[in-house]
Amino acid sequence: MLLILANKLRKDGHWVLNNAKFNVTAQQKKEIITVGFFGLLVGFCVSANLHLDKIFVGSLLSISELGVYSTAFIYGSLIVVPSRAINKISSIYISEAWKDNDLVTIQRLYRKTSLNLFIIGMFLFMMLWLNIDFVFYYLPEHFRLGKWSIFFIALSGLFEMGGGALSSVLYSSPDYKYQALANILYLVLIFLFSYLFIPIWGITGAGVAVFISMFIYQALRMLFVYKRYKMQPLEKKHLYVILFSLFIFVLLYLIPDTEYVIVSVVINSIVISISYLFGFVNLFRFNDLYELIQKYVPLSIFELKKSIK
């Protein structure tokens, strides 16, 4: 397919390489090689980080427990799925802002992505953990060993979501090398804590290792960006999200479950969804979410009440 496309471009005269000259200075070559090297280093560390804890589980425990942990890891990692698309989009604008040295725009995007992803992450975390029994409903009984692994992996994902576009901010900055160093540190932390906790707590220890490593990794990167560029993603609204979510969690936790798991899941999901819609769209009026809901849902809860009256 690529060869066909290249041939088509050549025939149409849009791809001409004859006698092409690239005026690249020695300094530019050095910069290109450096950026490429650290980019490959980051890619290697990210790939290694995804599998290192599983390697420890497989080597220190059993193949059966590795299967349980791998399944738990998939469920826990669902928290961060929405951040992939948002971070890809925001990275384009952040890179442009760095090119123009527009720190105001970077700070605005940094905070917006952090708050919005934190709300989404908290919503998914609540949906996952309050419906955790449904996760194991169709799985063999021994998979329940992975319950607390799911909790800690999901919690680490929530910390990652709370950082917003932190990786894009750091990697596209003049200090991009520190992103690579941070990834190496994260790899070392996973190695260290997995070695310490897996023999003690089994596959739950692997989840704890991921959580502690992510917490330290995110905290150090946030601290570096704050010290270097005076930018940080947290604001008062993050506290509102935490307190409101805790209130909903305690409320649903106190409500006794029905004997039918599916009915409990439906009740929990409806209460969580309506609570978040009411809380963050109508009560707190978080602008980005409010505009998004207004775009796809013609009437908010308050406006629906008014129309009924």
pLDDT digits (tens, 9 = 90+) for 219-253: 999 999 999 999 999 888 889 889 989 998 888 88
In the DSSP assignment, the letter for residue 297 is -
pLDDT at position 222, please?
A: 94
Token couple for 132: 């955790």
Residue 303 has pLDDT above 90, yes or no: no
Q: Please give the radius of gyration of the chain, using alpha carbons only, rounded to the nearest integer.
A: 23
Contact present, 169 and 231 (Cβ < 8 Å):
yes
Cα distance between residue 301 and residue 266, in whole Å: 20
pLDDT, tens digit (0-9, with 9 covering 90-100), for 103-137: 999 999 999 899 889 999 999 999 999 888 888 88
**CA nearest 121: which of 170, 158, 71, 168?**
158
Angle between helices 81-99 and 103-130 (to 10 degrees): 180
Contact present, 101 and 89 (Cβ < 8 Å):
no
Location of structure tokens 């190496």: 184
Residue 207 has pLDDT above 50, yes or no: yes
What DSSP element (H or E) covers 177? helix 177-201
Cα distance between residue 238 and residue 98, in whole Å: 26
Residue 165 has pLDDT above 50, yes or no: yes
pLDDT at position 305, please?
A: 44
Instruction: Give 10's pLDDT tier (boundaries 50, 70, 90).
Output: low
Is pLDDT larger for residue 115 or for residue 41?
115
SS3 label, residue 255: coil
Location of structure tokens 């149409």: 12
Residue 218 has pLDDT above 80, yes or no: yes
**CA nearest 110: which of 100, 121, 118, 120?**
118
Write down the mean pLDDT value for the chain.
Answer: 81
SS3 label, residue 230: coil
Cα distance between residue 207 and residue 65, in whole Å: 13
Cβ burial of 12 (10 Å; 0-12, 13-18, 19+) is exposed
Cα distance between residue 90 and residue 78, in whole Å: 20
Instruction: Give 300's pLDDT tier (boundaries 50, 70, 90).
Output: very low
Instruction: Give 6's pLDDT tier (boundaries 50, 70, 90).
Output: low
Residue 301 has pLDDT above 60, yes or no: no
Residue 289 has pLDDT above 60, yes or no: no
Maximum mean pLDDT: which of 30-44, 46-60, 181-195:
181-195
Mean pLDDT of 247-270: 83
pLDDT > 90: percent of the chain: 32
Which of 25-39, 42-56, 67-81, 182-196 has the least mean pLDDT? Answer: 25-39
